[in-house]
Structure formats: C-alpha cells, structure tokens
Amino acid sequence: MNPSSSSFLFLLVIFLVYSISASAIPVIGDNDVDEGFDPSKKLEGDKDNNNEFTLKVPTLELDDLPLDDLLSFNYYHKRCPDFEAIINRKVHEWINKDYTLAPSLLRLHFHDCFGRGCDASILLNHEGSERTAAASKTLRGFEVIDDIKAELENKCPKTVSCTDILSATTRDATVALGGPYWSLPYGRKDSRISIAKDADELVPMGHENVTSLLEFFQSKGLNVLDLVVLSGAHTIGRTSCESIQYRLYNYKGTGKPDSSIDAKYLNFLQRKCRWGSDYVDLDATTPRKFDNMYYKNLEKKMGLLSTDQLLYSDPRTSPIVGALADTPSVFKSQFGVSMARLADVQILSGKGEGEIRTNCNYVNSY
C-alpha cells in the first residue's frame, strides 16, 4: 500500500469514529422528556416487537421556539431577514479593498473563542480588556465588524449580537478566498466581561507543544482532528517576523536555527526577517489561496510556526496531516465542520446570560 492510500484510509477511520461519536450524542430540550417513560418497557421497534423502528420528528414554527437556551439556523429568519445578506455584501466590499482582512477576521474569531469563549469579548474596547492584551496587539478587522453592526442596528435595532456577526463574517471572509461555506445556527449573546489576562494566558501563540495544544483543545470541547484541521487556517494570512526569529538564529538557546526547518526555506526566512517588524506569509507557496498547501508545506519542513511543524513530527497528529495533504476536498469540508464546532465553544445563549450589544465596542448602558 502506498503512503497516499494509507493516509486516506487513516483519515477515513478518523472521520467514521468522529461521525459515530457525534451522532451518539442526543439533543435534549426542556420539552423532550416524556414524563410517562418507563425504562423497563420495550421501545417501539425492539426485536421482540418485530416492528420496523420509526422516528417521529416534531416540527415547530419559528414563533413557537423559545427565545433563550436555543440556537437556530432560522433564528434571524423573521427577526432580521437581511442579516446574512448584509454581512455577505459588507465582507466582500472590505475584502475587495484589502484581501488581507480575510485571514485577519479569521484570526479575530479564533482569539475570541479561545479566550472566554465565543462571546465577542475580544471586541470590547476598554482599559484592561482582551483587546488591549499583549496577545491581541496585532489583531485586525475591528472596523469591519463595526461597519456591519452599524448597518444591522439601522435595519434591525437591538436584534443581532456581535458574536453572531463575528461568526458569520469569519465564514464569509473564508469563502471569499476560496474556502468552504458552513451553516451556522444563531442566537448567541455577547459577554459583558473582557479581561486582558484571559487573552494573554489562554490563547495559543505558536510556541506550545502538541500535548499542550491537545489539552487546550480538549478543554474547549474540541479534539485532535479539530486541532489539525483548524491549524490549516494558516494556509492564508501572515505573522510578524518577531514571532519566529527565535527559530531562525538561536533556537532553544543552541545558538543555531531550528533544525526542523528546510535549509532553503530557512535561508529565505533569514533574508526576509532581518527586522522583527516585517511580516511573512504563513503559507510560503499559495498565501492568497485557501487550499491544503499548508499540509504539503509541513511535509517539506516548511511550517512557519513551530506549532505547525510539530503537527507533522508528532505521531498523534502526523497521520492526519498526511491525509489532509493528500485529499484537498476532505480538508475543505472538514474545515467547515470544525469551524462550526469552534463557533459553539462556551457560548452565552441561556436566559439571563449576556446581552445583545448595540455597539460591539462597549457593553450596553441601559
């Protein structure tokens, strides 16, 4: 069996386990419990009943849905019908002017979800907020969110949360550079709290080992497949030379470069990053295109961040890297799945949780 076939089979097994695990989790609402249920009774469709199992799915009109404790794909269908159309139009207007905003918005969403959770706390702009943290100093795209929010407030006042705006904007920005589309349920609320310490201590910054990353992802309800797939966001965007110079000259105090970097790529980086204030593409091959070249680069020892390259050398993640390098269509489809899972991390949706800000920069004053 050639390496390409084995990688594909490995990924197929991972996806099967992933799908079975997800389908085994019941979705239970407050009204889903049958008070007359007796676990000692046989269910319709048991072998002894010799009946075919049938599943009756109740249908609900949008107006019948509770306003709290529930995300819905139709949440804004009547509340703000033009919600997604406005976001899509605005995103394309901004990215047509500056394509680098697409990866910046993706990074902004990651920083938000990896802090306190997906609650738009990264957008709050006050002294001591996540936005003012050292880890956030190179974040961009706030003006895009502000522009979208202003139009939505004009169209649907006090209706659309900044959290939902950031999630949908990230999706449309990814699509604009050739990435996949993924459906999102809506109804998230915005946090009233934002602490710089959360950003500085929680958000991965590219210096961690794989064990630390796996533990962090697991703490957010994500898994090893999500880790490797979401790292593929580095197929677009760039980082400051300052963040990688330690790999180029004095890696771990050895006085030598990181030996895991390809020699030709190292030479390029040392010439490109003489100054820490300069920027370098995360994907040296196709930096403006959302594709699976990121994984192919890792196989060639061309991972820019040490956390990227470690995914290829660590036995827990390297088979997934190889599989995604061989199957670009699978990477794109799974990226959408993992992004939808990310958008559900530690959200605020219950009664009394969070608020819908009228200005994404500040908590409501009323």
Q: Which of 92, 109, 111, 207 is catalytic?
A: 111
CATH for 83-237+282-342, options being 2.40.50.660, 1.10.520.10, 1.25.60.10, 1.20.1300.10: 1.10.520.10
Q: Confirm whether residue 3 is marked as ligand binding.
A: no
Cβ contacts of 5 within 8 Å, gap of 6 or more: none
What pLDDT does 305 receive? 96
What is the C-alpha separation between 278 and 282, in angstroms, rounded?
A: 13
Beta pairing partners, 190: 355
On whether the CB atoms of residues 334 and 225 are closer than 8 A, the answer is: yes
Q: What is the mean pLDDT of residues 4-18?
A: 51
The percentage of the chain sitting over the pLDDT mark of 90, rounded to a whole number, equals 79
Q: What is the mean pLDDT of residues 149-163?
A: 98
| Catalytic-residue membership of 109 | no
Q: Confirm whether residue 117 is marked as ligand binding.
A: yes
Residue 39 has pLDDT above 60, yes or no: no
What pLDDT does 7 receive? 52
Core vs surface per residue 242-269: b (16+ CB within 10 A) or e: ebbbebbeebeeeeebbeebbeebbeeb
CB-CB neighbours of 155 under 10 Å? 14
Q: Confirm whether residue 61 is marked as ligand binding.
A: no
Q: Crossing angle, helix 83-97 and helix 101-114, to 10 degrees?
A: 120
- Report CA 4 to chain centroid distance, whole Å: 27
Q: What is the DSSP letter of 305?
A: S
In tens, the pLDDT along 48-73 reads 444 443 334 344 344 434 444 579 99
Residue 45 has pLDDT above 60, yes or no: no
Q: Confirm whether residue 308 is marked as ligand binding.
A: no
Q: Confirm whether residue 353 is marked as ligand binding.
A: no
In tens, the pLDDT along 289-332 reads 999 999 999 999 999 999 999 999 999 999 999 999 999 999 99
CA-CA-CA-CA torsion for 223, 229, 230, 232, nearest 10 degrees? Answer: 150
Give the three-class secondary structure for 185. Answer: coil
What is the C-alpha separation between 107 and 111, in angstroms, rounded?
A: 6
Q: Confirm whether residue 358 is marked as ligand binding.
A: no
Question: What is the per-residue DSSP string for 27-81?
Answer: ---TT---TT--TTSPPTT-GGGT-----------GGGS-SSS--BTTTTTTT-T
The ranges assigned to domains in the chain are 83-237+282-342
The model's confidence at residue 350, banded by pLDDT at 50, 70 and 90, is: confident
On whether the CB atoms of residues 269 and 248 are closer than 8 A, the answer is: yes
Look up residue 188 and give its two tokens.
Answer: 């998230």
Angstrom CA distances, 52 to 45, 47, 57, stand at 5, 9, 16
What pLDDT does 25 receive? 36
What pLDDT does 95 receive? 97
What pLDDT does 351 receive? 86
Cβ contacts of 39 within 8 Å, gap of 6 or more: none
User: What does pTM read for this prediction?
Assistant: 0.82
What phi, psi does 72 have (nearest 5°)? -145, 145
Least confident of 111-115, 117-121, 314-318, 349-353: 349-353
Q: Confirm whether residue 283 is marked as ligand binding.
A: yes
The model's confidence at residue 9, banded by pLDDT at 50, 70 and 90, is: low
- Report CA 300 to chain centroid distance, whole Å: 26
For residue 239, give the nearest of 168, 336, 140 by alpha carbon.
140
Q: What is the mean pLDDT of residues 85-101?
A: 97
Count the residues in the chain. Answer: 366
Give the three-class secondary structure for 186. Answer: strand
What pLDDT does 352 receive? 87
The chain-wide mean pLDDT, for the chain, equals 86
What pLDDT does 11 receive? 57
Q: Confirm whether residue 322 is marked as ligand binding.
A: no
Beta strands in 219-311 (DSSP E): 238-240, 279-281
For residue 82, give the nearest of 11, 151, 167, 175 by alpha carbon.
151
On whether the CB atoms of residues 110 and 224 are closer than 8 A, the answer is: no
The model's confidence at residue 227, banded by pLDDT at 50, 70 and 90, is: very high
